[in-house]
C-alpha cells in the first residue's frame, strides 16, 4: 500500500481519493478551507464522468441530481428556438451510453466526500485534514510543506490545488501565467429558486416543462450568452451569463466570491427579451468572476508528483467539462497506481497517467474556449493535440469527443500495454461500467 498525499478536497481531489482508496492505498487529503462554505453553484456531470461514478455506487436520486433531456437554443430577442443551431438527436446518452446530470455543486461534493470517507466499502476510509494551508512542494521526496513549517512526506503527492496552483509551477519549472481568452473573459453566476419563478405569472413560463432541459441563449456578435438549467430535484435554477468585457484586467485572479448587484447583470443583457430579464430579476445577487485561460501544460507529472483538475487544466464553462475532466483525472490516478510500490514503478505509472490524460484534457481545454456550436473557432489550435481526423468539425463530433470517451477502458488499455497481467481489484467498482455505444 502507498501513502498518498492529496492536496485539495475539491471535485478532482476527492475523485482521486475515492479511486486511490479503491485501488488499495492509504489516502490523506489536505484542504485549505474548513469545508463549511462550499461554493453554491451548479455543475454538469456528463456521461464521460457518470459512467464510473455510477459504477462506484453514486446514487443520483439520493444526491438530488436532475437527468438532462438536452439543450434548447433560444433567440435572445424573441426567445423562439434558433433555427440555425440544432443539437444532435438523442442527446448525451446517445453518444456516451449513460446520462448527463445537472447537480448542485455542493451535492456532488458531498457525494464524493461520502464515497471517500464512508466506513464500509473497499479500502481504508480517506482521512481529510481541514484548514491546512500548503505553501510549498518538493516533487523529489515527495513532500508538502504546511504554513507553520511542517513537512509531510508521502510515497506520492497528487496536487489538486485549483486554478491558483502552486504545484503546477513546480511541475512546469516556471509560472504558467493566465491570459485573457479571446471569445469570452467574464462570467456571472446566480441561482433562482423554482418557487420564486412559479409564483409570479410573468416568470412561470421558465418553470413550465423545465424538468431536465437546459436553455442556452447566445448572441455571437456581442460575445454574450446566458445558460440556465435546473438542479437539486428541479427546485433551483442555475444561471451562467458569459460575456466579453474589454475593460477587464487581464492580470486579475479568478474570484468566486465577487458579489455584484443583480442590476449589473440586467444592464449587461438589457437588450435581451423582457421576459428573460424578468426571470433574472428574481435573483437576489450574482457572483462575477473573470474567465482566465492558461495554456495547456506539456506534462501533468514530475517525479512522484502529479496534477489533477483545475491545477492542470483550468477551462472555460462553455462545454460543462471542467468538473468532468477533474473526475477523469481522479479515476485514472487510482487505476494506474494499483499495485505500484517502488519509487521507480510509481514514476512509470505516473507517466502512463500523463499519457492517458494530458492530450485529452488539453484538447477539451481548447474546445472549451468557444461554445458547442462554435467549434470552427478553435480548429487550428487543436492540431497540436489531436490527429486531423479526430478534430471535431460539428456539434455531433463535439458530443462524440466529449461524451463518447471511456476513461476506464482507455486507462486499463494503457496499463495492460505496460503489463498484460494488470487487473483491477474485483471490488474497485460496485457494478459494471457502462460503455460507449458502438465500442
Task: Give the C-alpha separation, 181 to 258, whole Å.
Answer: 20
Grid cell of 306 as nine digits: 502529479
- Compute the distance between CA of residue 165 and CA of residue 312 in angstroms, rounded to an integer: 8
Is 229 one of the catalytic residues? yes
For 224, residues 6+ apart whose C-beta sits below 8 A from its C-beta are: 76, 218, 241, 242, 243, 244, 268, 269
* CB proximity list for 428: less than 8 A, separation 6 or greater: 22, 23, 122, 334, 335, 338
Tell me the backbone φ, ψ of residue 2, rounded to 5 degrees: -95, 150
Contacts of 296 (CB under 8 A, 6+ apart): 313, 358, 361, 362, 365, 366, 385
Which residue is catalytic, options 26, 137, 229, 399?
A: 229
DSSP codes joined into one string, 341-400: -SHHHHHHHHHHHHHHHHHHHHHHHHHTTS-TT-GGGGHHHHTTTS-GGGS--SHHHHHH
Report the phi/psi class of residue 209: left, alpha or beta, with left for phi > 0 and alpha for psi in -120 to 50: left
Pick the catalytic residue: 189, 232, 288, 294? 189
Q: How far apart are CA 157 and CA 4, in angstroms?
A: 6
> How far apart are the C-alpha atoms of 209 and 198, rounded to whole Å?
12
Rounded Cα distance, 258 and 350, in Å? 37
* DSSP classification of residue 125: P
Q: Would residue 102 be called left, alpha or beta, if left means φ above 0 and alpha means ψ between -120 and 50 degrees?
A: beta
Contact call for residues 262 and 286 (beta carbons, < 8 A)? yes
Of 331, 332, 304, 339, nearest in space to 422 by CA: 339
Active-site residues: which are they? 189, 229
Amino acid at each position: 500500500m502507498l501513502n498518498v498525499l492529496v492536496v485539495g478536497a475539491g471535485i478532482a481531489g476527492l475523485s482521486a481519493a475515492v479511486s486511490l482508496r479503491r485501488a488499495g492505498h492509504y489516502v490523506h487529503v489536505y484542504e485549505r478551507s474548513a469545508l463549511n462554505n462550499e461554493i453554491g453553484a451548479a455543475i454538469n456531470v456528463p456521461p464521460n464522468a457518470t459512467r464510473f461514478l455510477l459504477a462506484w455506487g453514486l446514487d443520483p436520486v439520493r444526491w438530488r441530481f436532475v437527468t438532462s433531456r438536452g439543450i434548447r437554443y433560444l433567440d435572445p430577442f424573441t426567445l423562439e428556438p434558433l433555427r440555425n443551431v440544432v443539437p444532435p438527436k438523442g442527446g448525451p446518452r446517445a453518444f456516451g451510453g449513460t446520462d448527463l446530470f445537472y447537480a448542485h455543486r455542493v451535492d456532488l461534493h458531498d457525494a464524493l466526500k461520502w464515497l471517500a470517507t464512508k466506513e464500509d466499502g473497499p479500502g481504508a476510509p480517506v482521512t481529510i485534514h481541514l484548514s491546512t494551508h500548503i505553501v510549498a512542494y518538493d516533487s523529489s521526496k515527495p513532500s508538502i510543506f504546511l504554513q507553520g513549517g511542517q513537512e509531510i512526506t508521502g510515497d506520492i503527492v497528487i496536487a489538486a490545488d485549483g486554478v491558483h496552483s502552486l504545484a503546477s509551477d513546480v511541475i512546469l519549472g516556471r509560472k504558467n501565467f493566465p491570459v485573457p481568452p479571446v471569445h469570452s473573459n467574464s462570467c456571472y453566476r446566480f441561482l433562482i429558486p423554482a418557487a420564486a419563478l412559479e409564483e409570479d405569472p410573468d416568470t412561470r413560463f421558465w418553470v413550465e416543462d423545465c424538468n431536465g432541459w437546459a436553455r442556452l441563449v447566445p448572441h455571437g456578435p456581442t460575445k454574450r450568452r446566458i445558460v440556465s438549467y435546473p438542479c437539486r430535484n428541479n427546485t433551483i435554477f442555475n444561471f451562467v451569463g458569459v460575456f466579453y468585457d474589454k475593460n477587464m484586467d487581464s492580470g486579475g485572479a479568478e474570484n468566486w466570491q465577487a458579489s455584484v448587484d443583480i442590476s449589473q447583470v440586467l444592464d449587461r443583457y438589457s437588450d435581451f427579451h423582457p421576459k428573460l430579464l424578468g426571470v433574472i430579476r428574481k435573483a437576489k445577487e450574482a457572483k462575477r468572476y473573470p474567465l482566465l485561460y492558461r495554456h495547456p501544460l506539456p506534462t501533468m507529472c514530475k517525479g512522484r508528483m502529479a496534477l489533477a483538475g483545475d491545477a492542470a487544466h483550468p477551462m472555460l464553462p462553455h462545454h460543462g467539462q471542467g468538473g468532468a475532466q477533474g473526475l477523469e483525472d481522479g479515476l485514472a490516478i487510482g487505476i494506474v497506481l494499483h499495485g505500484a510500490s517502488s519509487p521507480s514503478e510509481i514514476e512509470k505509472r505516473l507517466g502512463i497517467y500523463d499519457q492517458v490524460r494530458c492530450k485529452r484534457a488539453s484538447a477539451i481545454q481548447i474546445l472549451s474556449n468557444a461554445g458547442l456550436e462554435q467549434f470552427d473557432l478553435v480548429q487550428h489550435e487543436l492540431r497540436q493535440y489531436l490527429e486531423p481526423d479526430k478534430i471535431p468539425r460539428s456539434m455531433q463530433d463535439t458530443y462524440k469527443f466529449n461524451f463518447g470517451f471511456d476513461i476506464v477502458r482507455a486507462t486499463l488499455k494503457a496499463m495492460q500495454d505496460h503489463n498484460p497481467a494488470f487487473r483491477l481489484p474485483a471490488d474497485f467498482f460496485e457494478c459494471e461500467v457502462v460503455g460507449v455505444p458502438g465500442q
